């Protein structure tokens, strides 16, 4: 018997094409998408508006893998962190953040991360593997139905484990699947993609017909400091990143968000704020300040609130739109930079191989 085709990796048109080989009609693809995404039914037997004969053929031809929720932690502020087990028994963390001001799902794009930012726990895992488009979309599908929110409007942020632009094709395919009107119908304007600035992929993103909001993880206003905090900057420098952001098409009344993790006595001084304002001058942007979420193994400290306020005021005085992110889920280690699956770290040789492979592919 041939191995079953993975249905959750197919966009609606591709599913319709695959169904045609079974003698099914194109509209059956839309019905299946509705069952899977809108109703959360991942078993052909439950898709009762399909004929029994078609359901039997689908059962023989396709598989519908769905990540299993192996742990669920709820914060005092209502944030919920999900630990999801994939088909190969790898695990990722995804987060539901209520009232932000809409409901928000924070989704992972990789198991681990190769970027190695010095203040982020996920980078300590190294990169174990990319997620497929179906696995990325499935996080939203699972959380939405677990929390009974599939029929409500919500936002998606690609700010979980991994660098979305390091897994470009699968990430963009997942967003198309989530945007399908026969499924959850998530408008790209309700999606934010956060990147440290993988330049070839960022320039490619600028040409996409389906374009999410862009958030750039900056964290420093000088080349030397960013090289230290965000090692990928040694390959794609700060000046080149800012130039790419200046070219990036921004919709009317929209802005590029620049995320800036504040580290005590490292990048949180008034001079740092002045440099940041000068660096972003002329870009339609806003700055999201994120006081560090401290964790064991992170060699930096959170600045005092007064220092955070002074940094924000310095930016505002220079007409920079600025906000300070309120950390959510810190008590369950679900806040920004805190996602890590214990026991899943790579050996140094594996991590080096993954980085070498990424470097050679991104230079091609």
Active site members: 93, 336
Instruction: Please report, for the chain, the start and end positions of each structural domain, with discontinuous segments joined by +.
Output: 5-63, 68-363
Reported CATH class of domain 68-363: alpha beta
> Average pLDDT by consecutive 10-residue portion of the chain (364 residues)?
89 96 92 97 95 94 96 91 95 90 92 89 88 98 96 94 96 98 95 95 94 95 94 89 95 90 96 98 95 87 95 96 77 50 45 35 34
pLDDT of residue 330: 57
| Identical fold between 5-63 and 68-363 | no
Spatial distance between the Cα atoms of 55 and 49, rounded to a whole number of angstroms: 10
The CATH code of domain 5-63 reads: 1.10.150.530
Q: Are 114 and 166 in contact (CB under 8 A)?
A: yes
- Spell out where the chain has E strands: 5-6, 62-63, 68-74, 80-85, 91-97, 103-106, 110-112, 127-130, 154-158, 191-195, 213-217, 256-262, 285-291, 321-324
pLDDT of residue 337: 47
pLDDT of residue 76: 87
Residue 100, Cβ density class (10 Å: 0-12 exposed, 13-18 middle, ≥19 buried):
middle
Number of neighbouring beta carbons within 10 Å of residue 17 = 13
In DSSP notation, 100-119 reads SSSEEEE--SEEE-SS--TT
Burial track 44-61 (b if 16+ CB lie within 10 A, e otherwise): beebeebeeebbebbeeb
Number of neighbouring beta carbons within 10 Å of residue 136 = 30
């Amino acid at each position: 018997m041939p191995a079953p085709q993975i249905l959750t990796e197919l966009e609606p048109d591709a599913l319709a094409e695959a169904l045609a080989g079974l003698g099914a009609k194109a509209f059956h693809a839309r019905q299946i998408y509705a069952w899977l995404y809108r109703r959360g039914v991942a078993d052909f037997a439950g898709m009762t508006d399909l004929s029994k004969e078609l359901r039997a053929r689908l059962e023989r031809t396709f598989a519908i893998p769905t990540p299993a929720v192996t742990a669920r932690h709820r914060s005092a502020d209502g944030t919920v962190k999900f630990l999801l087990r994939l088909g190969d028994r790898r695990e990722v963390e995804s987060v539901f953040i209520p009232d932000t001001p809409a409901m928000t799902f924070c989704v992972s794009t990789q198991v681990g991360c190769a970027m190695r930012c010095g203040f982020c726990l996920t980078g300590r895992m190294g990169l174990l593997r990319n997620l497929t488009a179906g696995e990325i979309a499935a996080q939203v599908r699972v959380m939405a139905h677990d929390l009974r929110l599939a029929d409500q409007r919500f936002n998606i942020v690609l700010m979980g484990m991994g660098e979305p632009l390091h897994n470009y094709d699968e990430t963009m395919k997942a967003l198309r699947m989530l945007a399908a009107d026969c499924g959850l119908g998530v408008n790209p304007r309700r999606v934010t993609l956060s990147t440290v600035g993988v330049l070839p992929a960022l320039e490619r993103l600028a040409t996409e017909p389906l374009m999410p909001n862009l958030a750039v993880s900056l964290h420093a206003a000088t080349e030397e400091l960013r090289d230290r905090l965000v090692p990928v900057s040694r390959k794609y420098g700060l000046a080149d990143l800012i130039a790419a952001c200046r070219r990036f098409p921004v919709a009317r009344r929209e802005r590029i968000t620049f995320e800036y993790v504040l580290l005590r006595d490292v990048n949180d001084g008034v001079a740092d704020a002045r440099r940041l304002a000068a660096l972003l001058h002329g870009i339609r942007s806003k700055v999201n300040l994120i006081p560090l979420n401290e964790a064991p193994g992170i060699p930096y400290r959170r600045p005092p609130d007064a220092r955070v306020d002074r940094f924000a005021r310095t930016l505002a005085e220079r007409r920079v739109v600025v906000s300070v992110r309120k950390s959510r889920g810190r008590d369950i280690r679900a806040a920004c930079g805190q996602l890590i699956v214990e026991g899943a770290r790579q050996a140094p040789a594996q991590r080096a191989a993954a980085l070498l492979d990424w470097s050679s592919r991104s230079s091609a």
